[in-house]
Structure 1
Amino acid sequence: MPPSGFSVDRDDLHPSLFDFQRDLVHWALRRGRAAIFAGTGLGKTRMQTEWAMNVHRLTGGDVLMLAPLAVAAQTVREAAELGYEITMCRSQDDVRPGLNITNYEMLRHFEPVLFDGVVLDESSILKSFTGKIRTELIESFAFTPYRLACTATPAPNDYMEIGNHAEFLGVMSRSEMLSMFFVHDGGETQKWRLKGHAEDAFWKWVASWGVVLEKPSDLGYPDDGYILPPLNVQDVVIEVPGEPAKTLSQRQRARRETVAERIAACAEIVNATDRPFLVWCDLNVESEMLAAAIPGAVEVRGSDKPAHKEQAMLDFAVGKIRVLVTKPSIAGFGMNWQHCADMAFVGLSDSFEQVFQAIRRCYRFGQTQPVNVHMITSSREGATADNIKRKEADFRKMVAEMVQYTKDITSESIRRAERDVADYRPARPLIIPSWLRSEAS
């Protein structure tokens, strides 16, 4: 995809940005339509805000930022630290000149054609939405000149997520991507694998519009301040009568039948300390019982009003709430809770990505303490910590391979000082038709 953006002087970007952040913003502005796949805590909020502000300065038009619930308010606060104002909106009537932000669910109340730029924050959650909303986003901003998608590094084998981003940015449709680089395996519609000869070409293509990094050194920058403390994932297995579950339905039944035992074990751990604690659950009954068993705990459920969800998550972030009880599907994306270094899973989702993202709310760059994760299960469910660690290791290995494929291309592109434009070298003199010439000429 040829660049469709504009160039700014790096020195004109906000001085608080780190070198790698400044270069990524410079690159994304030059591309015009780009994706930043960056590890949690690398400052995507600051980068996307600086990008949006420069689009506004160039065009004089408005920029709409879309974010998960509560993340929008968090973004407004972080922007204020840069000296920028972002208007929180619920409809087009609330939009003010400059930068505006809303939740994804509110998109239908806006007129996308009125914006010169759009930012998708935590854009990987689009795959959690219905196909209708995903299609609406792609179609709504198909003619928006400047587009930026920011999210954590994708699962390297989640090609649909990469395809969704390419389609949103107008690079290539997902179906075109699949037919060009992939082969379909058997009858399962989701089973696609890269063609043997296409792997290098595919990642080179991704690197032409997206950048992938887990840490600054992936692109040749120092990792000062970006070394994570230890992550301690511990199994807390409650012994209960019964045979170990062998199927998904048996495991789900075991969870329902051992709620009381798991709640008691979690409450004992959480009530033994006065530190901030984040408790993840999977069932509504778990959430209710946890809130009752842990003094001062605040419960956030899917059925709660958006205002309550948002306020509770923000209150937890600033320390007004010590213990927050919720589900990864509700608060597992986007929130920065580095003030908390202790969490427990009382019910586990079968989605590794949800568990992975939930842990990353606290275990992210900026965290200064070792993070302790308690995986509370019954003996009928089996130990889960080793399984999580194995999947984490597999994920890290795959991300490292993905970074390796793209790092040289993106590093060269990001550090390039000149704008990517084709030189015009005329082969013959310009001849102006007589009817265009003035009489004076």
Structure 2
Amino acid sequence: MKSYVSFIESKRAEMQPAGFTVERDSLHASLFDFQRDLVRWALQRGRAAIFAGTGLGKTRMQTEWAMNIHQQTGGDVLMLAPLAVASQTIREAADLGYEITMCRSQDDVRPGLNIANYEMLHKFEPVLFDGVVLDESSILKSFTGKLRTELIESFAFTPYRLACTATPAPNDYMEIGNHAEFLGVMNRTEMLSMFFVHDGGETQKWRLKGHAEDAFWRWVASWGVVLEKPSDLGYPDDGYILPPLMITDHVIGVEGEPAKTLSQRQRARRETVAERVAACAEIVNATDKPFLVWCDLNIESEMLTAAIPGAVEVKGSDKPVHKEQAMLDFAAGKIRVLVTKPSIAGFGMNWQHCADMAFVGLSDSFEQVFQAIRRCYRFGQTSTVNVHMITSSREGATAENIKRKESDFRKMVSEMVQYTKDITSETVRQADRDVAEYTPERPITIPAWLRSEKFAS
């Protein structure tokens, strides 16, 4: 008769590597040591996620990973990215000596590496690719979203999968679960039942079981790498120390009582557009440096573009070609001032050439503000980044609130890194099979009916 220990042994969650081994020195020589080790680890896993801070070179790592998949299999790899980020990726790949084909449909695909915007996914045949890369894979965050479901279902049988994004909020378990599901590690429902308990009546509120926290992060570390800087994995931080970030409140005095509710705050924003736009224009027009102006309302965008000579507006209704070209021209220095929304350009772009920005209208999403700031405040930035938060007295000061949320986020990320870094530091240097350990601490009595011959085999 099987013992209980052997029964548990048969139920252990084994997450075996599905990739192949390459020599570290065979990877592109321009990659930093930590980048080469992460690429090697991701190739060994076959299906993996890299959660890395902005500016750590995710584009170079995912390109090197994709090229090795192509060389190993002889098949094609599809890279998916947000608008304008695809062109940026092609340029960075050229620096490595690699060619990536920009595609709008399956008809454009060429042997090797291909890239498309997420919006074009429905025009491709995922089954024809041996590998897929999701750039800015936080797009999987929405666990009810149509695109999230389409991505998971479309690539469920793709042999090699890589997801790359910035470090997720440690308590954003749905994003982590969606990544695990995309990679074929475990579906979100199984993850929740194994590691979490439902917290109250809200369907999105889940918390880790008290005894499962360590096991959960060990599980995450078996298929995902989490780091904010190279030293998180034991590498030197040379070149990865960020300059200062200065967030300044500009509170414009206007008549009226401070808003207390969301609807009152939104009304205050609409009724104080002229004052806030004038304050921003004064700041931007006083310098000839590159400037990034973020807004939240269409009227803010229109008035800012009119008030700042030479400013170029990118709005949601613009054609994709205009959006992409404007963002690339700003990166190239052809445009001095770009006016847009975090929801349009707040993810993926590298604008370290710019160290000055202003928020004339703020959404209530901390993540959008956080990501928008990181278009400029990222590794590779050499100047102090100045962020101007322009609000009216009816809205209240925002800088302190942003700083508080930033501090809370950093604290949570630090805790997540602490949980995973020892495991990750070891596994990025050698691919090991990771299994959930079961160590019995007390004897268990097996009921007589289970000891019968009927159930003994």
- Structure 2: gaps of 5 or more residues: 1-14, 436-457
Task: Give a deviation string over 1:278-336, Cα, whole Å, max 9, x none.
Answer: 00000000000000000000000000000000000000001000000000000000000
Q: Which amino acid aligns with 1:13?
A: L
Q: 3-state DSSP class of the match of 2:428?
A: helix
What is the alpha-carbon distance in structure 2 between the residues aligned to residue 149 and residue 421 of structure 1?
19
Give the structure 2 partner of residue 106 of structure 1: 120
Using the size of structure 2 for normalisation, the TM-score is 0.91
1:261 aligns with 2:275: yes
1:303 aligns with 2:303: no
Query: How many Å apart are 1:419 and its aligned residue?
Result: 6.5
Q: Which amino acid aligns with 1:136?
A: E
Name the CA shift for 1:419/1:398 in 2 (closer, same or farther; >3 Å).
closer
Q: Which amino acid aligns with 1:33?
A: R
What is the alpha-carbon distance in structure 2 between the residues aligned to residue 382 and residue 18 of structure 1?
44
Query: How many Å apart are 1:368 and its aligned residue?
Result: 0.1
Map of 1:346-385 to 2, 5 A cutoff? 346-385=360-399
1:7–1:419: 8 Å Cα contact kept in structure 2? no
1:62 aligns with 2:76: yes
1:200 aligns with 2:219: no
Task: Choose the corresponding residue for 1:153, options 160, 167, 176.
Answer: 167
What is the alpha-carbon distance in structure 2 between the residues aligned to residue 243 and residue 421 of structure 1?
58
2:106–2:125: 8 Å Cα contact kept in structure 1? yes
What is the alpha-carbon distance in structure 1 between the residues aligned to residue 200 and residue 143 of structure 2?
26
Map of 1:150-229 to 2, 5 A cutoff? 150-229=164-243
1:10 aligns with 2:24: yes
Map of 1:240-389 to 2, 5 A cutoff? 240-389=254-403
Query: How many Å apart are 1:130 and its aligned residue?
Result: 6.2
What is the alpha-carbon distance in structure 1 between the residues aligned to residue 259 and residue 432 of structure 2?
59
Give the structure 2 partner of residue 22 of structure 1: 36
Q: Which amino acid aligns with 1:258?
A: T
Task: Give a deviation string over 1:233-255, Cα, whole Å, max 9, x none.
Answer: 00000000111001111100000
What is the alpha-carbon distance in structure 1 between the residues aligned to residue 432 and residue 247 of structure 2?
46
2:46–2:160: 8 Å Cα contact kept in structure 1? yes
Query: How many Å apart are 1:132 and its aligned residue?
Result: 1.6
- Structure 1: gaps of 5 or more residues: 423-441
Give the structure 2 partner of residue 403 of structure 1: 417
Q: 3-state DSSP class of the match of 1:224?
A: coil
Query: How many Å apart are 1:128 and its aligned residue?
Result: 5.4
Map of 1:40-55 to 2, 5 A cutoff? 40-55=54-69
Name the CA shift for 1:128/1:160 in 2 (closer, same or farther; >3 Å).
closer
Please identify runs of 4+ aligned residues in structure 1 that moved more than 2 A: 125-130, 418-422
Task: Give a deviation string over 1:365-424, Cα, whole Å, max 9, x none.
Answer: 0000000000000000000000000000000000000000000000000122x67599xx
Give the structure 1 partner of residue 249 of structure 2: 235
Q: 3-state DSSP class of the match of 1:301?
A: coil
Query: How many Å apart are 1:125 and its aligned residue?
Result: 2.3
1:70–1:311: 8 Å Cα contact kept in structure 2? yes
2:60–2:92: 8 Å Cα contact kept in structure 1? yes
Query: How many Å apart are 1:131 and its aligned residue?
Result: 1.6
What is the alpha-carbon distance in structure 2 between the residues aligned to residue 158 and residue 290 of structure 1?
35
Task: Give a deviation string over 1:235-277, Cα, whole Å, max 9, x none.
Answer: 0000001110011111000000000000000000000000000
Aligned length: 421
Using the size of structure 1 for normalisation, the TM-score is 0.94
Map of 1:70-109 to 2, 5 A cutoff? 70-109=84-123
Map of 1:396-435 to 2, 5 A cutoff? 396-416=410-430
What is the alpha-carbon distance in structure 1 between the residues aligned to residue 434 and residue 257 of structure 2?
66
1:121 aligns with 2:135: yes
2:253–2:392: 8 Å Cα contact kept in structure 1? yes
Indicate the percent of aligned positions where both proteins have the same amino acid.
89
What is the alpha-carbon distance in structure 1 between the residues aligned to residue 390 and residue 222 of structure 2?
43
Task: Give a deviation string over 1:125-173, Cα, whole Å, max 9, x none.
Answer: 2335962211110000000000000000001111000011000000000
